[in-house]
Structures are given as C-alpha cells and as structure tokens.
Amino acid sequence: MSQRRYELTDFEWSVIEPLLPNKPRGVPRVDDRKVLNGIYWRLRTGSPWADIPERYGPATTCYNRFVRWRKLGIWDRIFEAVSAAYDGDLQSVDSSSIKVHQHASNVRRPKRGTPKPPAWHDPAPSAWGVREAD
C-alpha cells in the first residue's frame, strides 16, 4: 500500500499496533492499518460511513470497529500513545474541527444585570392617569 497524504506513517503505526485488540479466533480480520486509515479518512472528510473508499476495506467494518473501540476506550489509549510518542509537540486544531457561524463573529452580548427603565417611563400612578385611592 503506497503512502497517501494523511494516512498513518510507519512510525505512528508502530506506536498504535500494540494497543489494538487481538482476536485470534474466528474469521480473519481485515488489516487494522487499512481500517484505521479508513476511519481517519471518514473523520477528516465528514463524509457518511458508506462513502469510505474501497481501498480501506468494507465501510461496515470501519464503522463497527470505530464504535466497538470507542466503547472499549481504545481511542483514548491511541491518542495518549501517539501524543507521548511525539512528546506532546504535535497538536492540530483547524477550521474543519472548530467552526463559528458567520453571523456569530461580531455579536455583541447584552450586559448582565437588571435592565434600567427608559428615561420617559415614570412609575408613579399619576403619570398613568390613575387616581389614588381615597
């Protein structure tokens, strides 16, 4: 498999591979590295699971492993191991993961506290044409 942009490097794979669950019995598994690259492709593009390219294996396999590994806490271990391998130097936040609506960029927030009545407002009953009780 040729190295494509945004796919796991050999170094990253060497860090991640020991953390993955091992299922020795039953039907042989689809290559974990291909499936991981498929999961990363889906998360990066935001496409539906069914649109994962065939080179990453069946889309249902990618989805099932993603959900199963989330329940087992494997994603947390992978993230911690890769972060530790890069000594915490590699962090990335871009506009594809954090978006603000265009109308929210210049919104002025109202001041907190009780609102003051307008200057023309007089709370006295005589101002409203109400006679006071005798």
Q: What is the pLDDT of residues 13-40, one digit of tens each?
A: 999 999 988 877 778 888 899 999 999 9
User: What 8-state DSSP symbol labels residue 17?
Assistant: G
- pLDDT computed for residue 99 by the predictor: 59
Burial of 70-99, coded b for 16+ CB within 10 Å and e otherwise, reads eeeebeeebeeebeeeeeeeeeeeeeeeee
Q: Is the pLDDT of residue 56 over 80?
A: yes
Read off the pLDDT of each residue in 66-83 and give the average, rounded to a whole number.
89
DSSP letter string, 63-115: HHHHHHHHHHTHHHHHHHHHHHHTTT------TTTS---GGGTTPPPPPPSPP
User: CA nearest 125: which of 133, 115, 114, 117?
Assistant: 133
Mean pLDDT of 43-52: 90
* Dist CA 52 CA 41 (whole Å): 7
